[in-house]
Amino acid sequence: MKKPSQDSPAAHLGPDILPGGRSRIPGTEPLRRRIEMAIFGLTSGAGAPRLNFLEPAGDPGLFGPQSVCWRVHGDFTIMMVGGVCALLLQMLHPLALAGVWDHSNFREDILGRLRRTSAFVGSTTFAGRRDAEMLIERVRRIHLRVTGSTADGTTYAASDPDLLTWVHVAEHSSFLRSYQRYAVKKLSEAEQDRYYAETSRVAEMLGAQGVPKSRAEVEQYLRRLRTQLDYSDRAREVRRILFSTPAPNAAIKPFSRLFLEAGEDLLPDWAQQMMGVQGGALARRALLRPAVRAMAPTFRWALRNGAAARARLRMEPAG
């Protein structure tokens, strides 16, 4: 059998996986499929878009396989840890929190919020251009309905360009920190700048303004926003619900708490201090982080039919 070139999407299937996601190792395919289906159950469900990532053939979507965001957003472990971190960080902004508090069912389904975030990021990254643009427009319309006011009378709107920028920066700075901590090969400074520049495109299509597009700009933005953030009673309640929510299925249960703890550990030092969760940093470095690094290869082995893998197959030359 001809070995795929390093530039071929098939090369990303790995040495123990046949095309189509089947394992080469005898007897392991049922286990791999069980883990993969558990991942699909965690990242898809009610409200998630149903997109065909295999079509249209040759369509690079908004970014394409040579982009940095395809590398960052294609790793399940990195995105799960980063997603937990992003949610905790976003909730420190009183207006972002008010929108979630007043307009979502997070109390009954907080994992659904993580699932919808994962679906949106994955779809806008890996889907064909038409599907990605349709999804962005759909979210823009939803944002127009999310309005209200806080207890002190401050009005908010999910379509507010400044609020959209906060949500975007909290998300993508978390994804990038997760990648730099847990990826096999870290990104260079230039690649990190490219990541922020690439992903700013989706934020701007949603209506965000003044989106930072480099590491330096993101760091400057976060320093400026800190005075607006607060670990309020509502933010504490979001954290309590998140950490007390049972795992969605038995296969993912052994890893669920690890994802949560690793996500909180990923928060910037100043955010951990604000939340009072900075204690035990040495123990986390000694135990938690190595555990995540040891777990990640299992998910990379198991998840062979996700959005990233299908998008790469879409880019394979015809014939």
- Whether residue 291 contacts residue 77, with contact meaning beta carbons closer than 8 Å, is answered with no
For 118-127, 188-197, 310-319, which range has the lowest pLDDT when averaged over its residues? Answer: 310-319
* Predicted confidence (pLDDT) per residue in 51-84, tens digit: 899 999 999 999 999 999 999 999 999 999 999 9
Report residue 163 as tokens.
């609020």
Torsion 176-178-183-185 (CA) sign:
positive
Residues 6+ apart with CB under 8 A from 254: none
**Can you give the pLDDT at residue 4?**
40
Whole-number Å distance between alpha carbons of 319 and 313: 12
Helix-strand-coil split of the chain, %, nearest 5: 65, 5, 35
Report residue 288 as tokens.
């938690």
Which residues are 59's β-sheet partners?
none
**Of 16, 10, 51, 45, nearest in space to 31 by CA:** 16
Whole-number Å distance between alpha carbons of 56 and 75: 23
Mean pLDDT of 88-103: 96
pLDDT value at 179 more than 80: yes
pLDDT value at 2 more than 70: no
Q: For residue 249, name the pLDDT band (cuts at 50, 70, 90).
A: confident
Higher-pLDDT residue of 48 and 289 is 289
Q: Give φ, ψ of 188 to 5 degrees.
A: -70, 170
Q: For residue 139, name the pLDDT band (cuts at 50, 70, 90).
A: very high
Mean pLDDT value across the chain: 88
**What's the whole-model pTM score?**
0.88
pLDDT value at 17 more than 70: no
* Predicted confidence (pLDDT) per residue in 182-207, tens digit: 999 999 999 999 999 999 999 999 99
Please name the residue that has the structure tokens 């289906």: 37
Whole-number Å distance between alpha carbons of 121 and 69: 10
**Of 302, 317, 319, nearest in space to 21 by CA:** 302
Please name the residue that has the structure tokens 């949603």: 206
**Can you give the pLDDT at residue 250?**
74
Mean pLDDT of 6-12: 39
Higher-pLDDT residue of 13 and 252 is 252
